[in-house]
């Protein structure tokens, strides 16, 4: 028997689904995945969630509004080309400088603002977390361990274990990681992104992820009520 109320199952799945969506968007969509996104009704997909997931509504509605109608092949092709170009410019490579590289090490707190560098202490700390969770080999990437999507994989793993296996240690690890590690740097990342994202697509995706992180961050404090 599940240790959680039955109505929470859909809420939990909506959070996990939103993490998967954010991971896909910030990993970069190829043409096939972009087409699949355009065919997805995001509001309907998450609309079955309970009132606990109402925080997802605004960014999902905003994200849906930016998607072209799937039957308009020309608009879909243009949209996919645009977000792929923007992805490279914002996150990977741009002659004017990458606006929002997705690595925790590059978004230090104000008191450590001069310490930002690739493969800084946050990358080493993240590598240790992955090893302790047994995920070091599972993450197939040449990226530094503090890349946003690697952190999302870790968070998803701990959160799904916490909820699906009633593992309070994993749930506490997920909540602590969202609250103490991801939210502080991701908020700074989101501000850098918004300043350069003239189309707004990735900024809305960041807003969705921020809301999800806030929910995850509160899970250990709420767990006694479930």
Does residue 2 form part of some domain?
Answer: no
Residue 102 pLDDT: 97
Does residue 152 form part of some domain?
Answer: yes
Q: Is the distance from CB of 150 to CB of 128 less than 8 angstroms? A: no
Q: Is the distance from CB of 155 to CB of 172 less than 8 angstroms? A: no
Does residue 30 form part of some domain?
Answer: yes
Q: Is the distance from CB of 126 to CB of 141 less than 8 angstroms? A: no
Q: Residues of the chain whose pLDDT is less than 50?
A: 1-6, 224-226
Domain count, the chain: 1
Q: Is the distance from CB of 30 to CB of 81 less than 8 angstroms? A: no
Residue 225 pLDDT: 45
Buried b (16+ CB within 10 A) or exposed e, 91-119: beeeeeebbbbbbbbbbbeeeeeeeeeee
Does residue 51 form part of some domain?
Answer: yes
The number of angstroms, rounded, from the C-alpha of 211 to the middle of its chain's C-alpha atoms is 10
Residue 219 pLDDT: 87
Q: Which domain holds residue 111?
A: 8-225
Residue 58 pLDDT: 83
Question: 39-77 pLDDT, tens per residue?
Answer: 988 876 665 555 556 667 788 889 999 999 999 999 999
Give residues with Cβ within 8 angstroms of 97, minimum separation 6.
none
Residue 3 pLDDT: 41
Does residue 39 form part of some domain?
Answer: yes
Q: What does the chain come to in residues?
A: 226
Of the candidates 167, 157, 128, 168, the one whose C-alpha atom is nearest the C-alpha of residue 145 is 128
Helices (H), 28-177: 31-39, 42-47, 57-66, 73-87, 121-132, 148-164, 168-177
Q: What is the CATH number of the domain that holds 169?
A: 1.10.3480.10
Does residue 3 form part of some domain?
Answer: no
Residue 163 pLDDT: 93
Q: Is the distance from CB of 59 to CB of 192 less than 8 angstroms? A: no
Give residues with Cβ within 8 angstroms of 80, minimum separation 6.
29, 31, 34, 35, 38
Residue 109 pLDDT: 80
Give residues with Cβ within 8 angstroms of 185, minimum separation 6.
104, 107, 108, 122
């Amino acid at each position: 028997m599940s240790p959680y109320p039955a109505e929470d199952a859909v809420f939990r799945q909506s959070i996990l689904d939103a993490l998967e969506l954010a991971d896909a968007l910030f990993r970069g969509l190829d043409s096939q995945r972009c087409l699949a996104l355009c065919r997805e009704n995001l509001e309907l997909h998450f609309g079955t969630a309970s009132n606990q997931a109402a925080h997802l509504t605004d960014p999902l509605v905003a994200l849906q509004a930016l998607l072209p109608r799937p039957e308009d092949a020309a608009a879909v092709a243009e949209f996919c080309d645009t977000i792929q170009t923007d992805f490279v410019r914002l996150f990977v490579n741009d002659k004017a400088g990458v606006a929002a590289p997705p690595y925790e090490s590059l978004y230090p707190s104000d008191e450590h603002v001069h310490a930002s560098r690739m493969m800084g202490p946050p990358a080493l700390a993240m590598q240790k977390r992955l090893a302790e969770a047994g995920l070091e080999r599972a993450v197939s990437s040449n990226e530094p361990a503090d890349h946003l999507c690697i952190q999302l994989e870790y968070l998803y793993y701990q959160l799904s274990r916490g909820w699906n296996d009633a593992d309070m240690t994993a749930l506490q690890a997920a909540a602590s990681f969202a609250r103490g590690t991801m939210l502080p740097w991701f908020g700074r990342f989101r501000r850098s992104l918004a300043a350069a994202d003239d189309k707004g697509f990735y900024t809305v995706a960041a807003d969705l992820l921020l809301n999800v992180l806030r929910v995850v961050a509160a899970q250990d404090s709420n767990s006694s009520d479930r």
